[in-house]
Amino acid sequence: MREIYAGAATNIDVMTRLVKPQPGERCNDPACGTFGFMIAAAQYVRDMTDDYADLTEELANFEVEEAFSGCELVHDTHRLALMNAMLHGIDGPIYLGDTLSDFGKRFKDYDVVLTNPPFGTKKGGERATRDDFTYTTSNKQLNFLQHIYRSLKANGKAHAAVVLPDNVLFADGDGQAIRRDLMEKCDLHTILRLPTGIFYAQGVKTNVLFFTSGTSDQGNTKEVWFYDLRTNMPSFGKTHPLKREDFAGFVAAYESDDRHRVADERWHSYTREEIAAKDDSLDLGLIKDDSIIDYENLPNPVESAESAIASLKEAVQLLQEVADELRATKEN
């Protein structure tokens, strides 16, 4: 069972509020764990509809019975997901199975996907058995990413928020091809660079990718916005958990009517052309780390040495003058 690390619950809440699932939408988590994302999505809809009281009976039944679904591979975690859903009044389907096998081909035509796929590679380096993936790789996150953007309705409105480790942003080979395919088929509009250890073990760096489906298979991403919530931030953990107010700057930038006018040093954009020039790497958007020495800005070493020699000569001269005065005083 995947452990929930410090700050994960807060991040799930923020992701859900930014994605804004609506009544009547089909929401899914293809690697649902204990069903946390779907419970957050259901609660968001409940809050906006007075606990479904504002909905028709038919739509209210849809929310309870169909709107929120998931899939989980591990038996014990699947049982916990079923129990968790029941305690929160959700009867939507939660499947026991492997999304990355042909079993997962049934999960499609969703309006919303919220998920945190498991970390690592398939056992023994084997590749996913899905025969509908264009790119085959043993990297679970890259395979889940392929599944997710293919599972969205191709209506230009369906959207996803996905937690992924840093390696997805820069992996070459199939990784590069999958990122390119994502940016062709969807509008990858925002990437949040998270502090370390939020969703995975301490030291693992993660990000949230926000994207919207396209209506065609080409040219949907025009520019990608990055927010750096990692660099020059406090060390988050059990004694200093990540709180909702820590996301305030990101939320303001994300929801701005004009993102180009947001004055925040952590907020940067790159055009699709600029990303292509970097071999489609998305390992971008991090600001200068104040704890790291910038060697490019160090003074000229020759000048520094000459300045140090001059200072030492001056110090020697002053010491000699003090010694001469002390000697003169002693002789008198």
pTM exceeding 0.75:
yes
- Reading the chain (332 residues) residue by residue, the pLDDT tens digits are 444 444 578 889 999 999 999 999 999 999 999 999 999 999 999 999 999 999 999 999 999 999 999 999 999 999 999 999 999 999 999 999 999 999 999 999 999 999 999 876 555 455 667 889 999 888 999 999 999 999 999 999 999 999 999 999 999 999 999 999 999 999 999 999 998 877 766 678 999 999 999 999 999 999 999 999 999 988 776 777 788 999 999 999 999 999 999 999 999 999 999 999 999 999 999 998 876 544 455 556 665 666 667 667 766 776 776 666 667 666 66
Contact (CB, 8 A) for 259 and 269: yes
Contact (CB, 8 A) for 100 and 143: yes
- The pLDDT value given to residue 327: 72
- The pLDDT value given to residue 3: 46
- The pLDDT value given to residue 311: 66
**Smallest Cα–Cα separation from 164: which of 144, 134, 190, 188?**
144
Query: How far is residue 114's CA from residue 32's CA, in Å, rounded to a whole number?
Result: 9
- The pLDDT value given to residue 241: 78
How buried is residue 13: exposed, middle or buried, by Cβ count under 10 Å (0-12/13-18/19+)? middle
- The pLDDT value given to residue 289: 83
> CA gyration radius for the chain?
27
311 residue type, one letter: S
| H or E element at residue 287 | none
Contact (CB, 8 A) for 188 and 221: yes
| H or E element at residue 13 | helix 8-19
| H or E element at residue 165 | strand 159-165
167: CB partners within 8 A, 6+ apart:
139, 141, 175
CA–CA distances in Å: residue 240 to residues 7, 176, 237, 291, 327:
9, 36, 5, 20, 61
Q: Which two tokens stand for residue 131?
A: 């025969």
